[in-house]
Chains A and B, each alone.
Chain A
Amino acid sequence: MGQWIEVCATGDIDEEDVMRFDHGGQTFAIYRSPDDRFYATDGLCTHEKVHLADGLVMDNIIECPKHNGRFDYRNGAAKGAPACVNLKTYPVKVEAGKVLIDTGA
């Protein structure tokens, strides 16, 4: 286990939306689901390294803005070509109105 890193306030991300978070030379995508839970994945699409935070969140799916590769952001599962490699996910917790992630670093 690494350290919990503070990302933002819960209100900084709309429901069913995504935000980019850069930390320690890495880029992450932080999601807030329609049922108001928070998730975190690697920030770049596994297909062509595009920032997923520019993409569209629909229900539990993040769609890459470049080639529409789709992933379930809750578990990182790639949902078909051109996205074939799963996204890495990270533990998230909410404490005192703040979103924190464990980058494993």
Chain B
Amino acid sequence: MTEASMVIVGGGKAGARAAVAFRENAWKGRVTLISDEALAPYDRPPLSKAAIMDEAEPQPVYLLDEGMMASLEVNFLRGSAATGIDRDAKTVSLADGTKIPYDRLLIATGAEPRRLSQTGAERALLLRDLADSAEIRRKFIDGKSVAIIGGGFIGLELAASAAKRGCRVTVIEAQPRVLMRGVPPEIATRIAARHAEAGVAILTSASIAQIGLDKILLSDGREIPADIVIAGIGAAPRIKLAEQAGLALDNGIACNTYLQTSDPHIFAVGDCCSFPHPVFGNERLRLEAWRNASDQAIVAVENMLGGQKPYEAVPWFWTDQYELNLQIAGLPQRGVSIVERVPKENALILCHLDGDGRLVGASGIGPGNSIARDIRLLEMLIGKKAAPGPALLADPAFQLKSLLKP
């Protein structure tokens, strides 16, 4: 008879948070955390920002260090790739042949950057882990030309970091504008203008023909200087393990509202999974987001221990570029009308309402933390399916908090 065992595959934010959550829920049995990385779980948001910009050589910001793992009695298997799941025997196999038995298994394998397919694509650096970040940092030398392919969050954060280090930066975006996915044009325009002010060239509707040794050739014949090329063209869920195990897939590992996969003993969280969202008519979402990773871990662990808790946290993203902070709560794209709210000078918040006047999204941009409090309150209102009047939303003197009071 073996001791009851909880096994987590993936040592990122979600996996680390889950390991802690088992102990917070007073689970006394074994907790094993399997990570294919050599380091203990560390935080990734700094990798595109502070880790590249700061004067000091970046150090990992640990989410769960050796001491914490020891005190929580987490059995941490570092540098161990999980290679297979035997669902009948309920074991996970590792590359070295070891088999780890589980009572419940949590897959938190994350996502991996998509690769370019053009000639010369192998020159393009990708950013996912600390080593990638360190390599990019070493190459961002004053005066070098940097071409960043993709005007999404990662691409733009890296552009701001490269500009800060004195590089000549070009962002090449295939779409007609940056941040096409999930960020309204009014907000994207402001961030693009800030990049222009910093000297970053943003080329939109631009397609790449070929990546040369020191330049990029666009389909329209233009040549972009590129001592360094980075691709930030999105990420794909890491589903190989789940796929081989025959779990249902649907834009990632398909979970139900309890974050349970098609095998009731296996759960999935974070970037690798999709789930129906009860606040948005059970639309199936897959989120690549820091807070979602930990919020899902907390709920999944509760359910792995016998709970029946639906996951209903409102999606929330942020990015920091230069002095600007951009945040998105909910699903702005589900809105049909927009109410502008200006909480402070130079800050802008858009409240996105659906056809019934229900608040379904909030997006904002402003210096420092100028939009944080209002976005947080709007996020809570979205979660409550509130339909606040547009006049109230537009009035910066109106305390949004009062709408949350009974």
Contact = CB atoms under 8 A, between A and B. Distances in A.
A16 B369 contact: no
Contact of B368 (A54, A56, A67, A81): A54
Interface stretch (B26-34, B103-111, B372-380): B372-380
Contact of B372 (A16, A58, A66, A82): A66
B259 to A, nearest CB: 18
Contact of A56 (B17, B370, B377): B377
B401 interface: yes
A51 interface: yes
**Closest 4 pairs (CB-CB, A-B):** A65-B372, A54-B369, A65-B369, A56-B373
Interface residue range, chain B = 10 to 19
A67 to B, nearest CB: 8
Interface string A59-74: 0000101111000000
Nearest to B295: A68
A81 B377 contact: no
B20 interface: yes
B20 A55 contact: no
25 contacts: A51-B369, A54-B368, A54-B369, A54-B370, A54-B372, A55-B372, A55-B373, A56-B372, A56-B376, A56-B377, A56-B401, A58-B401, A63-B376, A65-B369, A65-B372, A65-B373, A65-B376, A66-B369, A66-B372, A67-B291, A68-B376, A80-B24, A81-B17, A81-B63, A82-B294
A63 B372 CA distance: 11
Contacts of B17: 81
A61 to B, nearest CB: 12
Contacts of B369: 50-51, 54-55, 65-66
B376 A81 contact: no
Given A56-B376, A66-B372, 6 more contacts: A50-B369, A51-B369, A54-B368, A56-B401, A65-B373, A68-B376
Contacts of A51: 369
A68 B380 CA distance: 13
Contacts, number: 33
Contacts of A81: 17, 20, 63, 294
Interface string B327-368: 000000000000000000000000000000000000000001
A50 B368 CA distance: 10
Contacts of A66: 369, 372
Contacts of A82: 294
Nearest to A80: B24
A16 B373 contact: no
Nearest to B404: A58
Contacts of B294: 81-82
B401 A16 contact: yes
A72 B29 CA distance: 31
Contacts of A63: 376
Interface string B365-406: 000111011001100000000000000000000000100000
Contacts of B20: 81
A58 B368 CA distance: 21
Contacts of B377: 56
Interface in A34-59: 50-51, 54-56, 58
Contacts of B24: 80
A67 B373 CA distance: 12
A74 to B, nearest CB: 19
Interface in B163-197: none
Interface in B281-305: 291, 294
Contacts of A55: 369, 372-373
Interface string B1-25: 0000000000000000100100010
Contact of A54 (B63, B291, B373, B401): B373
A17 to B, nearest CB: 9
Contacts of A58: 401
Pick the most buried of A50, A54, A66, A81: most chain B CB atoms within 10 A of its CB.
A81
A94 B366 CA distance: 35
A80 B369 CA distance: 22
A81 B41 CA distance: 14
A67 B292 CA distance: 12
A84 to B, nearest CB: 9
A50 B63 CA distance: 18
B302 to A, nearest CB: 14
A55 B377 CA distance: 10
Contacts of B291: 67-68
A10 to B, nearest CB: 18
A98 B63 CA distance: 41
